[in-house]
Structure 1
C-alpha cells in the first residue's frame, strides 16, 4: 500500500469518526439516553478501529479467523455467564417502546445498548460512504443546511456536535480550495495538504462553540418566510390538482387538518398541518376570537359522533329559527325595560377558500344572511350545517352577516339563566322594535307569520329536546353520576353547563395521546382513565355530560379565527392548524349557545369586548364546582399548552415516539424483505425439484407456461376466445430469439400434445433456449428488480 492510499484511508476513518460522534451525541441528547460523551467517543474509536483493521487486512485469512474467534468467545461467555442475547435484545426493544425521557423509566443498560447500536451502525455506514468520491462534499453541504434548519425550527443541538460539524465543513472547504489552487499541478496531494490546515480548522471550530450564545437566537426571518411560502404554494398546488381531478369531495371534519388517524372513530395521536385553509376579510373584528361552523353532529355512539339523516318538518333554514328565537328573547327583555346595550353586535365576514377542498360551507353561529358572488347550489342538513352539491376549492367566495354575542357579559349570562320557554312569544310589534333597536335589522320586508313562527319554534324546541339528548344505552353509570355531582345544587341549565365547562377546563391539554382502547367508551375513558386530551375529547365530554342532565347539545367542527397579523386589506389567514371542535347547547327560549370546554381556547371565546385580548386571561364564570367524591383528581397543568413546562413536556412526548417508530419501521421492512427472499428461495427450490423430476413433455409444458407469462408482461395478452395457435399466429415473428420464433415453439407443443408422442431432446432444448434468451432480453429491458418480481409471480401462481 502506497503512502497516499494509506493517508486517504486514515482520512476516511477520521471523517467517519467525526460524523458518527456528532450524530451519536446529538441522538443521545434528543432521546435522553444520558450517556457520557467520553463513552460515545470511546465506542467510536473501538468500532472504527476494528472496521479500519478489517478493511486494511481483509485479504488476510487471519482476519477472518480472528472474527470467528471473537464470535466463539462471545458464545462461550454467554454460556458460562448464562447470558441470553435474544432476551437482552427483546428487553432493549421493549424499553425503546415505552421510554419517553422519564427518569422513572430510565434503564442505564438499555440506554448503553441503544447508544452502542447507533454508533456501530453509524460507523459502518459513514465508513462505507466516505470511500466514495464527492461524498464528503455532499455531506458537508447537507450538514450546513441541517444546522440552519435546526436553528429555524429551534431544535437544540449539543455544542460538541455543532463544533464537529463546523470542523468537518472547514476541512472540506480547505480541501476544495486546495484542489482549485493546484488543479493544474501534480505537486501536492490535496488530502495530505488538508492535514496541515486541520489545526487551524480545529481552533476555529472550538472558538465558534466556546463563545457564549446570545439570549435571543438568530431569527432567520428570510429563510423561514421562504420556506413557509414554498410549503404553502406546494400544498395549494396539490389541493388544486385534487380539486380538478375529483370534485365530489366530502364534508369538513377535523381529519382535514391532521386531527384524526381514522375517519371512523374519535381521538388518537395527531400531527397538525399548518397551511392556509381560508382567508377572512372583515372590517369589524372582535376582541374575542371568531368561530366558523363547518359540520354539526347530533348522534354520539360511544366511539364517535355521527349525523342523523332525519328530515325537518318546517319550511325555513335552521339559522332562520335560531335567529328569531334569539330576537324574541331580546324583545322580551326590552319590553321588561332591561339594559341591553353592548350585548350583541352586527358583523360580517368575507370568506374565501384557499388551500382546502370540501363541500362544507363555513359560517358563524347566529348567521342571518349569506350572499354569494355567483349562483351556487347547496343544501342544509337536518342539524343546520350547509353542504355544497359539489366540492369547492380555491377561489370560492361569499359573505356572511351574523350577530356576535358578548358571552362574558353578566347581563347576557343572567338572560341565559332566566330563559323562558319557547311558547312565551312577544308581539310582532315588539319583535320588529327589538330588531331595529338592538340588532340593526329591518324586518319590515320579512312578512313572517307570528303565529306560524311561534308554532314552528315550539315544534322545533320539542324536536331538539328529543333528538339532541340521545345517549348510548351502554354509557357507563359513572359518567352520569359525574354530571349529577358537578351540578348538584344548581337550578338552571346555564349554570349547570358552566359548571361542566369549568371542570373540564382544569384537565390537561395535549395532542400527544393514544387511541381509546377497543371496547371502552370514548368519553368515559377520557374522564376517568386518560384525563388529558385535545379539543375532540373536551367537546365530546361536555356534550355527553350535558345530555346526561337532559340538556340538548350538538358537537361542532370548524375553524377558529384569530385576529392577528392582518394584511393591508384587513384580511386574516385561517390556518388548517386552527381547526377545532366545540359544543353548543340549546337554551330554550334563546337558542343555540356555544361553550368552550377546551382549556387553551376558553379565554379566546370569552374575552370581554371592552378588554384587551392580548394575553387571554382565564375568566371565572362565577360558578363554583362542588367537591366531588369518587372522581379522579384533575391535573392543574397543561401538557401541551402555553405554560412554562409545556414545551419541555412536548419534547419528551416527541422523544417517546421517534425512536420506537423508526425501529419498528426498519424492523418491519427487514422482516418483510427477509420473508419475501425466504419464500422466493422455497419457490425456486420447489420448482427446480418439480422440473427436474418431470418428464420431457411436462418440462415442455412448464417452459411454455413461463414463456406465456412473460409474453403477457410484454403486452401480448391471449383472450378467452382465442386458441393458442391463433394467438401465436397473431404474434408471428414479433417475438424471435436464438433464430426461433414463438410460432415455431407453439408448433412443437401442439405436435407433442395432439400427436401424442414424446418431445425430442433437440426440440426441448430449442424451447428452453428460447426461454433463456427471452429472459435475457427482459432483464435488459426491465431491469433485475422488475425481472425478479415477474419471476416471483410466475413461481407463486404456477406451482
Structure 2
C-alpha cells in the first residue's frame, strides 16, 4: 500500500473508530440522563478514544503515567495537601456514586456525569480500537453493542432504535473497508491497492451500508404478530421477565378501564395503605411531556396524615368544559406572579383517569373527552380516562421564584385559605420528640418562609437518601421512625416528614405524589418513566401563597431568589425566568450529595495515612516493572549464552525462532496454517532496506536444519544473527525504545501463528 493509500486507510479507520465509540457512549449518556450538552460529550468521548488507542499501542505508558501520578501525589501531599484531600474526596464520591448506580440506589449525580461517560467511553474504545486498528475480528463488536441498544430499547429509550441503525451503518462500512476474510488478518493489514480503488471501495461500501439500513427501517411494520399460545406459555414459564418487556399493552383500552393514579404502581411504595418499604425500580416509560422546561407533574394531592399513610380529600369538585380557565387567578395577576407553561402529555403503555399537571392548572384540552373534573387543590380527573398513545394539552401557571413574587407585591394571607384546619391537621400519634425537633430547627425564626426553608435544609443534610430500606415496623409512627430510628429513606420519607414538621410550625402543607419531567429533552420532549415517580411538599407561605419545597436531597432545590432585586439582576420583566440564572424547576442542576451510611468511610483527612498509602504505591510501582525488566534481561542473556555454546544446526533453529518473534513485534507474524517458506515469501518485500532475500535464505536454512538434518555453514549463522540484530534495530526505531524493551523483555511476545 503506497503512502497516500495508507494515509487514507488510517483516516477512514479513525473516523469509523470514533463514530462507533461515540454512538454507543451517547446511548449510555442518554441512559444516565446526561445533562452536560453534546459539545461536552463530544470532547469527553474524543479524549477517551484517543487515550485508549494510545494506551493500546503503548501499554508501557500506563506504567510511566502511574509513576508520575504517584510522585505527583507525594509532592502534592507535601505542598498542596488541601487540594490533594479534595481530589481524593471527589474520587471517593465518584466511585461511591458509580457503585450505588450499579446497585440501583441512585442516579449518576450531575457533577460525576462527564467522568462516568469518560470511563464508559474509554472501556468501549479499548475494545473498538483493538478491532479497527489491530485487525481483530469485527464480529467482536456485535455482542456488547447490540445488547446495549436492545436493552435500552426495551427500557423505553426510543433513541436506541436510531442509534442502533447508526451503529449498523458504521459496522457495515467497517466490514466493507476491511475487505474482511475470516482468518486472514494480514490480508487487511497488508492490502495493496491503488488510492482510487480504495476510495471507490469505501464510497461503494458506504452507499450500500446506508441503503441496507434505510431499507430495513422503511419496510412495513406491524404490532400484529403470529400467536403460538403453547410457545408463549412455555417462554413465560421459563423466562418470566419476558412478560415485562417492551410493548406490554397494559395501557391500552383493550386491557380494561383506567383508574386513578396510585403511587404504589410506581414501585416507590410497596403497600398502598402504608408508607415506605423497599423500592422496586421500574424503567418502563409512562409518558412523554413536550414542554419548554422541566416540570413537577402532580398526580395525587393528599391532605390528611394518619401516622402511617396519607389520604386525599377530593371534594369539593367541579365539572369544567375543555378550554375553560380553571386557575381562578385574575388576568392582571398572572404575569406578575406566575409563568405560563404549556405542555402536551402523551401516555405510553399507561392509562389513568388522573391528569398530571404543574401546581396551578389553567386550561386543558383533549380529543378523548369533552369535560373534566377539578377537585380540591387542583386534583384533575378526566372521565373515562386516557390510554396508551392518547394525549392532552395543558397550560399551567407556575409560581415565580419567591424573591420575584415578593418584589412584584404578592400579598396572599392565610385568611384567603379555605378549610385551613385541614392543612394543619395532625394525628395524635405524632410524638413529642418530633415536636421538640421541629421547634429546635425553627427557633428564633419569624417568617414562614425562613421556617420552611430551615426544615427543608435540615432534612436534606441530616439524613441518608437510600432506596433499599426495610419496612417500617407495625404500629410505629412513620415520621418519628424516619427522623429518629431509620434515618434513611427516599422521597416518601422526606416529603412526609417535612409536611408534618411544617404543620407543627403552623404552616399549611400538602403531600403531593406524581412525576418529574426532567433530564435531557429531545427537541423539548421529556421521557418520563416509573423511575421519575416522586413525592414532594407544597406549603402555603405568606405572602406568596402555595410554593413547592424539595426536602429530598437526590433532587435539586427549586429556584427561590430570596434576595432578588430588579436593579441587581438588570431586568424588571416578570416574564423572563431565564434571566434569573436557570429554569425554576431545573431538575438537571446538581442537588445535595447523596451518600450512603458513613460507617467505614475512609478518613481522607488523615495525612499520615495518605502519605503511607502513596509511598507504598510508589514502592510497588517502582519495583514491579523494573523488576520484570531485569528478570527479562537476565533470561535473555542466559538464553544468548546458551545458544552461543550450541552446534550450528541448533543455532540456526533458535535464531530463526527469535527472528519470527521479532517479525511478530513489528506486525508481521505468520498466519495460521502458513508454512515457514510461505511466511518468508509474503513478507520479504517489506525488508528491502535490510536484505530483500535474507529472510528467504534464512527460512530455507532453518527448514533444512530442522526437518532435513542438514547443518548450515558458518556464513549462514552470521547472516541470521545479523538479520536478527537489524530487525531489533528497526523495531527499536519504529516502536520507540520503551515500547521495544517492554515487548521484548517484559511482555515477551511470541509468534502465535507457528
TM-score (norm 2): 0.43
Structure number, greater radius of gyration: 1
